[in-house]
Homo-oligomer: A and B are copies of this chain.
Amino acid sequence: MAEASAVVLPPPPDIVRCASVELVVTDLAAARRFWVDVLGLVVTSESDDVIHLRTFEEFIHHNLVLREGPVAAAAAISYRVREPADLDRAEAFFAALGCRVERRPDGFAEGFGDTVRVEDPLGFPLELFHDAEHVERLAWAYDRQGTAPLVRLDHVNQVVPHVPSGRTYLEALGFRVTEDIQDADGVTYAAWLRRKPTVHDVALTGGDGPRLHHVAFATRESHHVTALCDRLGALRRSDCIERGPGRHGVSNAFYLYLRDPDGHRVEIYTQDYWTGDPDNPVVTWDVHDNQRRDWWGNPVVPSWYTEASPVLDLSGSVRPLVTRHEAGEMDVTIGADGFSYTRPPGGSGDVDGAEGFKLGTQL
C-alpha cells in the first residue's frame, strides 16, 4: 500500500485532531450514571436515546455520543478537518482506497455540520467534519469541574490484526508515528500516530480486529487521576478500574483504565509530550522491556490485552473480526513462554540485581 499511496492516492484531508467518539450502549441510564455522574463529563444535550457529552475545555458541541442500541459497540470515530474543502478531499481519498463513503450535508450527529463517514481500510467507521456548533468552553469553571476534570478528548486506540499495514494507511492519511513496540524479529506489536502535536490521536494495537480498544480523555494533572480512583472507591465502583493508575513508558503519560457498564474501555490520561516538530524522534520500545507499558513495571492485566469493543459498519452491523497471525504481546511477555526484563540483558543497568523478571515472579 505504501507504493499505492505514493503513486495514485489523491491528497488526504487535513485532519486537525481526534474530536469525538460515538458509542452504542445497551442501557443509556446506566451509561449516563457512569459517564456523567461518575466521570463528570458535561451534558451538551440529551434525549431518550442519545446523550451528547463534552469535556471542560471543549468549545465544539461534543466529544462523546452515547446512543442506546441492542449491541455495545463503537459506531463512529470522529476527526475534525481544517476547512470545508477537506471533506471533498476525504471523499476522494477514501473512494480511491475503495472504501464505502457516505456524506450528509446536515451531518450525522447533532451539533456537527456537513460530514463524511467511511468504512476505512482497517474496518473502522470514521467520521470527518469541519462545521460544528460552538458551546461554552468551561475551562475556567473550577466550581463545576470536580476533583478529576476531564478537559480534552485525547485519542483513540484501535485493535488491528496487522499493525504495519495500518500504519502505512494512516501515514497516507497524514498521520506520523511517534512511538512503537517491536521485537528483535521485526514484529510490530503496537504503534502510536498523531496529527495534533501530542503522542497520538490514534494508536494501533495488534490483535483480532477491527475493535476499539479505548477512548482516552485528558485530565490536567496526575493527582486528578488518583482522585478519580479515590472517588470510585467512595462510590463502591472500584471494580470499574481495570488497570492502573500508572505511568506509561510509551508516551510518558500518567494513566488509568476504566470499563463502562457495557465494557467500553476509557483511559484517563495526562502529561505526554510535544511531538509537533517535523523531525520528532520516533521512540521504539522492545516488547520485552517490562517498563514499556507501565514505567513502574506493574503487570498488565490479561483483559486489557484480550478485550475490546466491536465496531459497526455504516449500516449499523457489527464488523466481523480478522484474526491476528503474528505473535501476541501478552503471549511473548507473560508466563511460561514469554518474558520481560527490568534491565536489558547484558545492559548497563543497576548493579543490584539481574534482569529483574518482576512480572514472572508475580503472576
Give this chain's copy count.
4
Given A142-B147, A221-B222, A238-B358, A352 and B33 contact (CB-CB distance below 8 Å): yes
Q: Is the CB of B273 within 8 A of A234?
A: no
**Contact code string A86-118 (vs B, CB < 8 Å = 1, else 0):** 000000000000000000000000000000000
Q: Is the CB of A17 within 8 A of B277?
A: yes
Q: Is the CB of B352 within 8 A of A140?
A: no
Q: Name the CB-closest residue of B to A82.
A: B278
A297 within 8 A of B: yes
- Chain B residues with Cβ under 8 A from A273's Cβ? 57, 139, 151-152
**Contact code string A211-244 (vs B, CB < 8 Å = 1, else 0):** 0000000001111001101111111111101000
A143 within 8 A of B: yes
Please report the C-alpha to C-alpha distance between residue A140 and residue B250 in the assembled complex, in whole angstroms.
10
Q: Is the CB of B139 within 8 A of A232?
A: no
A356 within 8 A of B: yes
Q: Is the CB of A290 within 8 A of B238?
A: yes
Q: Is the CB of B303 within 8 A of A362?
A: yes
A339 smallest CB distance to B (angstroms): 13
Q: Name the CB-closest residue of B to A143.
A: B234
Which of A235, A245, A261, A350 has the most chain B CB atoms inside 10 A of its CB?
A: A350
A344 smallest CB distance to B (angstroms): 8
A327 within 8 A of B: no
Q: Is the CB of B303 within 8 A of A237?
A: no
Q: Is the CB of A261 within 8 A of B353?
A: yes
Please report the C-alpha to C-alpha distance between residue A191 and residue B226 in the assembled complex, in whole angstroms.
26
Please report the C-alpha to C-alpha distance between residue A271 and residue B254 in the assembled complex, in whole angstroms.
15
- Chain B residues with Cβ under 8 A from A168's Cβ? none
Given A221-B221, A301-B362, A237 and B350 contact (CB-CB distance below 8 Å): yes
Please report the C-alpha to C-alpha distance between residue A274 and residue B139 in the assembled complex, in whole angstroms.
10
Q: Is the CB of A343 within 8 A of B236?
A: yes
Q: Name the CB-closest residue of B to A218.
A: B274
Q: Name the CB-closest residue of B to A154.
A: B274
Kindly identify which residue among B142, B245, B342 contacts A227, using a CB–CB cutoff of 8 Å.
Answer: B142
4 nearest A-B residue pairs (beta carbon) = A238-B297, A239-B356, A233-B295, A142-B230
A residues whose Cβ falls under 8 Å from a Cβ of B: 16-17, 30, 33-34, 57, 59-60, 80, 82-83, 134, 137, 139-147, 151-152, 196-197, 220-223, 226-227, 229-239, 241, 245-247, 249, 252, 254, 261, 271, 273-274, 276-281, 290-291, 295-298, 301-303, 342-343, 349-353, 356-358, 361-363
* Besides the known contacts A139-B252, A226-B254, 15 further A-B residue pairs in the complex with CB atoms under 8 A apart: A16-B277, A30-B351, A140-B295, A142-B147, A142-B231, A143-B235, A151-B273, A220-B271, A229-B296, A230-B247, A230-B296, A233-B247, A233-B296, A238-B296, A363-B363
Q: What are 18 A-B contacts defined by CB distance under 8 Å?
A: A16-B278, A59-B280, A60-B277, A82-B278, A140-B295, A142-B233, A143-B231, A143-B234, A146-B146, A220-B221, A221-B271, A226-B226, A229-B247, A239-B358, A241-B296, A261-B352, A303-B361, A363-B363
